[in-house]
Amino acid sequence: MKHHYLPQFYLQGFTDPDTPQGQEPYVWVHRAEDRTWERRAPVNVAAETDYYVFTDETGNESHEIEQAFSQVESIWAPLIREKIQRQRSFTAEERLEFAGFVALMYARVPGQIEHVGDFMAEVAEMVAATYLQAWKEDPRRLEAFKRQYREEMGEEFGDVRPEDLSMEGIKITTKRPAALAMTLSTVTTAAQLIADMGWTFWLSSAPDFFITSDYPFCLHNPKIPPDSPYGPGLGQKHVEVTMPITREIAFMAGWPSQGTRWRQAPRNIVEQMNYRAAMRASRFLIAPKPTFPGSDVILGTGGPGC
């Protein structure tokens, strides 16, 4: 089964407005590896077979995560259509629901899942190396670990000697369900923080369309230097959350303001939003048209990922 990591209703918001009558609406997709544009129907974009499937304790494949996503998407689609596109005020509940949509669009995409998986693997390798070094320095610790393992697991750890221990040639990886579980665990807290921020919806129109990508969520703090080892965080005073919502609407949230504003976006803001949407893309860009505000800069410096 095809699982969309960008919802189809979301992708439909970026279709080419000049799609010929009677033809299925399409978006323009730009991939970094071939640097060309192709027209694709939303159903064929940002999808992988059984992407959110995991094996449960009985050994059966479970589609619970994809089913849960489908349920909440049935809430978000009308919320965007009825409230955001019509510029209507939110109830407190609707505000939290939309914040949940933004937070999940950060957590569910391959770029974030792979990033978290790499981090988990790196931590595991560091822990393993620490244990191995401790066991080499004091073999009694290894014997104590074997006893604890036997008591807790009901089986022997194995006839391993300190001189046999080495991380050379060993690469620890993280399975996708584990990385996904970790990144999804942050959604509730992130949604609440985003809901508490001030919101601005930037509005634009043809030909100044907003674009999106396989990683549309952007967290940016203009006060942090590019070479800083510390990245932006939702709790930082000057942080900005941005994400394109449709080809004509982009979302921005931050702490200095309160409430919700609707503002017409000048071209430089559209360019900025497009650059941010493309900045973390690792697979492709999605646009209503191959040419858009900022396309010369975004595509001229390497395309997705730049």
106 versus 64: which is more confidently predicted? 106
Q: How far are the Cα atoms of 124, 134, 218 from residue 166, in angstroms, in the given order?
A: 14, 12, 40
Q: For residue 303, what pLDDT is reported? A: 39
Percent of the chain predicted with pLDDT > 90: 62
Of the listed ranges 203-207, 255-259, 290-294, the least confidently predicted one is 255-259
Determine the 3-state secondary structure of 71 from DSSP.
helix
Of the listed ranges 133-142, 155-164, 207-216, 250-259, the least confidently predicted one is 155-164
Q: Beta-carbon neighbour count of residue 86 at 10 Å? A: 8
pLDDT digits (tens, 9 = 90+) for 82-106: 999 999 999 999 999 999 999 999 9
Q: For residue 161, what pLDDT is reported? A: 77
Of the listed ranges 118-122, 154-158, 267-271, 274-278, the least confidently predicted one is 154-158
Residue with tokens 């323009």: 28
